[in-house]
């Protein structure tokens, strides 16, 4: 059971090493500017490989999902970023229960966006765990974990892509341990749990009155979605590739002020220093380096990047 691109390597690994009797993914949805109805990445992979596929609208309604799992004859279910909390009937449909591949070091960052919030919060490391699912949100015991350092400058999209194959390898290892009878489920310390809620469009608004490290981490954490946004000369622009640079705070410059532009990007003042933003996208244009935007007179020293207008969640 899974939906986004992050789950595809796990499905590929299962197809390679085990018998997959059923794939479950969320329904097709409109995507992109044109709103064309598009299948989730997992559904597209299953269709291309000729795997049995269902896309129920609900994990609970009418017991459709639980019945399909039971009828499939699956010994064990694997869940990777399916996007729904599963009821007990679904968890019990396979004799050996459900395993979940979760992209954080539980109990930290339970929830829908663990990688994004780890980057936004400036964490030095994250990882992938294989856990047994229960009826809570990522509360089950952990069978295996793999720790990964978060690279400086890494976006949440890049980190997700890097974690996906690590999760697939860990899943195969956990399945082998279960088959051998050597797997050990370790209960989580619920007192240490933190929550990683789903991002909204409003999370992309950048406030340069925050510390430089906080601003840079936010820009990387909301890349690729919802994308970092600021207001420049009355229009909303998107910001990419942010890093903190050594700079003493210039109290004469308001946060958000463009202090310099060079081949490496645009230097912008923050509450306690500055960051360098390498790329900018203005409305109706492709993503460009800051130097390219400046060469077209779309950006100058002294300009101010301000909070964008409020957007619906």
In the listed set 140, 157, 192, which residue is the last one of a domain according to the structure? 192
Both 118 and 250 in one domain: the answer is: no
Phi-psi region of 105 (alpha: psi -120 to 50; beta: other; left: phi over 0): beta
Identify the pLDDT of residue 83: 86
Identify the pLDDT of residue 30: 87
Identify the pLDDT of residue 292: 93
Residue 33 maps to a domain = yes
Average pLDDT over residues 72-90: 94
Identify the pLDDT of residue 218: 98
Report the residue count for the chain: 313
Both 164 and 231 in one domain: the answer is: no
Identify the pLDDT of residue 311: 65
Both 49 and 177 in one domain: the answer is: yes
Both 147 and 61 in one domain: the answer is: yes
Q: Greater confidence, 173 or 34?
A: 173
pLDDT exceeds 80 at position 55 = yes
Of 129, 125, 124, give the one whose Cα is nearest residue 146. Answer: 129
* pTM to 2 decimal places: 0.94
Least confident of 33-42, 51-60, 298-307: 33-42
CATH number of the domain enclosing 46: 3.40.50.170
In the listed set 131, 165, 192, which residue is the last one of a domain according to the structure? 192
Average pLDDT over residues 50-60: 93
Average pLDDT over residues 67-94: 94
Both 154 and 13 in one domain: the answer is: yes
Identify the pLDDT of residue 35: 81
Residue 301 maps to a domain = no
Identify the pLDDT of residue 252: 66
Both 54 and 185 in one domain: the answer is: yes
* pLDDT tens, residue by residue, 162-187: 999 999 999 999 999 999 999 999 99
* pLDDT tens, residue by residue, 190-222: 999 999 999 999 999 999 999 999 999 999 999
Both 266 and 166 in one domain: the answer is: no
- Please provide the DSSP assignment of 98-115 as one string: EEEEESS-TTTTBSS-HH
Q: Rounded distance, CA 251 to CA 39, Å?
A: 51
Both 157 and 210 in one domain: the answer is: no
Q: Which percentage of the chain shows pLDDT scores above 70?
A: 97
Identify the pLDDT of residue 249: 64
With cut-offs at 50, 70 and 90, classify the pLDDT of residue 248: low
pLDDT exceeds 90 at position 50 = yes
pLDDT exceeds 60 at position 313 = no
Burial of 191 (0-12, 13-18, 19+ CB in 10 A): exposed
CATH number of the domain enclosing 277: 3.10.25.10
* pLDDT tens, residue by residue, 5-32: 999 999 999 999 999 999 999 999 987 7
Query: What's the number of domains the chain is made of?
Result: 2
Residue 146 domain boundaries: 5-192
Both 21 and 165 in one domain: the answer is: yes
Residue 83 maps to a domain = yes
Both 232 and 176 in one domain: the answer is: no
Most confident of 54-68, 80-94, 136-150, 234-248: 136-150
Both 75 and 139 in one domain: the answer is: yes
Cβ neighbour number for residue 312 with a 10 Å cutoff: 6
Backbone φ and ψ of 87, nearest 5°: -75, 170
Residue 88 maps to a domain = yes
On average, the pLDDT of the chain sits at: 94
């Amino acid at each position: 059971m899974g939906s986004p691109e992050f789950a595809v390597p796990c499905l590929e690994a299962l197809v390679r090493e085990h018998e997959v009797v059923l794939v479950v993914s969320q329904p097709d949805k409109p995507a992109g500017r044109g709103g064309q109805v598009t299948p989730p990445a997992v559904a597209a992979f299953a269709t291309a490989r000729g795997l049995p596929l269902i896309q129920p609208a609900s994990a609970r309604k009418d017991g459709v999902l639980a019945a399909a799992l039971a009828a499939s004859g699956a010994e064990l279910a694997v869940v990777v970023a399916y996007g729904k909390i599963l009821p007990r009937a679904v968890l019990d449909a396979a004799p050996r229960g459900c395993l979940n591949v979760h992209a954080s070091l539980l109990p930290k960052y339970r929830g829908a966006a663990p990688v994004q919030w780890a980057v936004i919060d400036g964490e030095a490391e994250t990882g992938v765990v294989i856990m047994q699912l229960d009826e809570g949100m990522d509360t089950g015991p952990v069978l295996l974990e793999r720790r990964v350092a978060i690279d400086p400058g890494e976006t949440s999209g890049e980190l997700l892509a890097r974690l996906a194959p690590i999760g697939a390898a860990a899943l195969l290892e956990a399945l082998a341990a279960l088959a051998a009878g050597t797997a050990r489920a370790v209960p989580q310390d619920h007192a240490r749990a933190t929550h990683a809620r789903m991002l909204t469009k409003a999370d992309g608004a950048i406030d340069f009155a925050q510390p430089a490290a906080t601003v840079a981490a936010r820009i990387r954490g909301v890349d690729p979605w919802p994308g970092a946004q600021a207001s420049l000369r009355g229009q909303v622009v998107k910001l990419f590739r942010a890093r903190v640079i050594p700079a003493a705070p210039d109290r004469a410059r308001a946060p958000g002020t463009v202090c310099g532009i060079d081949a490496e990007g645009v230097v912008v003042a923050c509450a306690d220093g500055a960051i360098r933003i390498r790329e900018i996208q203005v409305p109706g244009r492709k993503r460009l380096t800051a130097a390219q935007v400046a060469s077209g007179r779309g950006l100058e020293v002294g300009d101010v990047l301000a909070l964008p207008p409020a957007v619906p969640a």
